[in-house]
Chain A
Amino acid sequence: MLTTLLIVVPLVAALVVWVLPLSAESTSGLALLAALAEVGLWVGGARNFDFSSQEQQYSASREWFSDLGISYSVGLYGFQFWLVGLTVVVGAAAVGYAMWVGRDRPRAYYGLVLFLVGSLVGVFAAQDLLLFYVFFEAMLIPIYVLVGVWGGPQRVKATVTFVLYTMAGSLLMLASIIAFGISQGTFELAELGTSSNDWIFLGFLAAFFVKAPLLPFHGWLRLAYTEAPPEIAAILSGVVSKAAVFGLVWIVLPHFPEPVDDLRGLALVLAAATLVYGSVLAFRQPDIRGVVAYSSMAQMGLIMLGIFSVNDLGLDGAILHSVNHGLVSAGFFLLAGMIEARFGSGEFARLGGLAKGRPALASVVLILGMFTLAVPGSANFAGEFSILAGVFERGWGYAAVGVAAIVLAAMYALRLISAILHDRRASGTDDESSDLVGGELALVLPLVAILAVLSAWPALVTERSFPLDQPTSFIAGQEQSP
Chain B
Amino acid sequence: MAFGGWLCLLAPLAGFLAILLAGTRITRRQAGILSTASVFVGFAGAVIAFVDALGRTPEDRAELTASWTWLTAGDFRVRLELLIDPLSLVMMLVVTGIGGLIVLYSNGYMAGEDEERRYFAYMSFFVFAMLLLVEGGNLLLLLVGWGLVGLASYLLIGFDHHRPSAVLAAKKAFLMNALGDAIMALGLFLAIAKVGSLDYGAVFDAASSGALSDTTVTLIALGLLGGAVAKSAQIPLHTWLPDAMEGPTPVSALIHAATMVTAGVYLICRTHPVFEAAPDIQHLAALLGLATLLLAGVVALVQWDIKRVIAYSTMSQIGYMFVGAGVGAYGFAMFHLVTHAFFKALLFLAAGIVIHHLSGEQDIRKMGGLRRELPVTHVTFLIGTLALVGIPPLAGFWSKDPILAAALAQGGALGWVLYVGGLLGAVLTGLYALRLYFYVFHGERGEAHAEGHHGEGARTMTWPVLVLAGGTCVVGFLAIPGVWEPFEEWLEPVVPPLVAPTAAQDWLTSLVAVTLGVLGSYLAWRAFRAGRELVADGALRNALEHKLWFDELYDALFTRPAQALALRLRDNVEQPVVQRGLDELAEGTLDAAAVAGRAQSGLLRTYALAFAVSVSVLALVFLVVR
Contact = CB atoms under 8 A, between A and B. Distances in A.
Do the two chains touch directly in the complex (Cβ atoms below 8 Å apart)? yes
Contact of A389 (B69, B146, B167, B189): B189
Contacts of B178: 373, 406-407, 410
Contacts of B179: 407
B167 A410 contact: no
Contacts of B74: 311-313, 316, 469-472
Contact of B174 (A363, A414, A457): A414
B162 A356 contact: yes
B376 interface: no
A393 interface: yes
A310 B567 CA distance: 35
A342 interface: no
A427 to B, nearest CB: 16
Contacts of A157: 583, 586
B71 A422 contact: no
B23 A359 contact: yes
B618 interface: no
A422 B146 contact: no
Interface stretch (B180-188, B294-302, B471-479, B513-521): B180-188
Given A403-B185, A403-B186, A410-B174, A376 B70 contact: no
Contacts of B183: 403
Contact of B175 (A353, A414, A472): A414
A378 B161 CA distance: 24
B190 interface: yes
A421 B71 CA distance: 33
Contacts of B190: 392, 396
B256 to A, nearest CB: 19
Interface string A153-196: 00001001100100000000000000000000000000000000
B162 A422 contact: yes
Interface string B150-193: 11001100100110100100010011001101110110111011
- Is chain B's binding surface mostly helix, strand, loop or mixed? helix
Contacts of B155: 366
B574 interface: yes
Interface string B60-88: 00000000111111111100000000000
Interface string A309-334: 00111011100000000000000000
A418 B167 contact: yes
A470 B583 CA distance: 46
B144 interface: yes
Interface stretch (A11-19, A117-125, A217-225): A217-225
Nearest to B154: A414
B585 A164 contact: yes
Contacts of A375: 147-148, 150-151
B147 A377 contact: yes
Interface in A363-393: 363, 366, 370, 373, 375-377, 381-382, 385-386, 388-390, 392-393
B144 A377 contact: yes
A404 interface: yes
A311 B132 CA distance: 30
A355 B161 contact: yes
A60 B565 CA distance: 52
A411 interface: yes
Interface residues of B, number: 63
A132 interface: no
B582 interface: yes
A340 B132 CA distance: 38
A223 B575 CA distance: 12
A404 B566 contact: no
A410 B175 contact: yes
Interface residues of A, number: 66
Given A160-B589, A219-B581, A469-B75, A388 B185 contact: yes
B566 A281 contact: yes
A218 B578 contact: yes
A359 B118 contact: yes
Contacts of A373: 178
Interface string B113-135: 00000100000000000001000
Contact of A459 (B20, B71, B162): B71
Nearest to A404: B182
Contacts of A462: 71-73
A338 interface: no
B579 interface: yes
Nearest to B178: A410
B73 A161 contact: no
B480 to A, nearest CB: 40
A424 B164 CA distance: 8
B134 to A, nearest CB: 15
A407 B175 contact: yes
A407 B237 CA distance: 14
Interface in A445-482: 457-459, 462-463, 469-472
B590 A459 contact: no
A10 to B, nearest CB: 31
Given A389-B192, A407-B179, A284 B75 contact: no
Nearest to B578: A219
A403 B182 contact: yes
Contacts of A222: 579
A408 B563 CA distance: 11
B46 interface: no
Given A157-B583, A277-B569, A389-B192, A382 B71 contact: yes
A82 to B, nearest CB: 14
A22 interface: no
Nearest to B580: A219
B254 interface: no
Interface string A282-309: 0110000000000000000000000000
Given A160-B586, A403-B185, A390 B73 contact: yes
A440 B251 CA distance: 34
A400 interface: yes
Contacts of B175: 407, 410-411, 414
A181 B530 CA distance: 93
A386 B73 contact: yes
A423 interface: yes
Contacts of A469: 74-75
Nearest to A415: B171
A400 B183 CA distance: 9
Interface in A207-248: 218-220, 222-223
B570 interface: yes
A414 B586 contact: no
Contact of B73 (A316, A400, A415): A316
A361 interface: no
Nearest to A471: B74
A389 B567 CA distance: 31
A5 B597 CA distance: 42
B158 A280 contact: no
B408 interface: no
A399 interface: yes
A385 B178 CA distance: 14
Contacts of B140: 385
Nearest to B585: A164
A418 B171 contact: yes
A459 B69 contact: yes
B574 A281 contact: yes
A370 B162 contact: no
B566 A423 contact: no
Given A376-B148, A377-B144, A389-B76, 11 more contacts: A161-B585, A164-B585, A312-B74, A312-B75, A312-B76, A373-B178, A375-B150, A377-B147, A392-B189, A410-B178, A459-B72
Interface of B: 20, 23-24, 68-77, 118, 132, 140, 143-148, 150-151, 154-155, 158, 161-162, 164, 167, 171, 174-175, 178-179, 181-183, 185-186, 188-190, 192-193, 562-563, 565-567, 569-570, 574, 578-579, 581-583, 585-586, 589-590
12 contacts: A164-B589, A280-B565, A281-B569, A311-B74, A317-B73, A355-B161, A389-B188, A396-B190, A407-B182, A421-B161, A423-B167, A462-B72
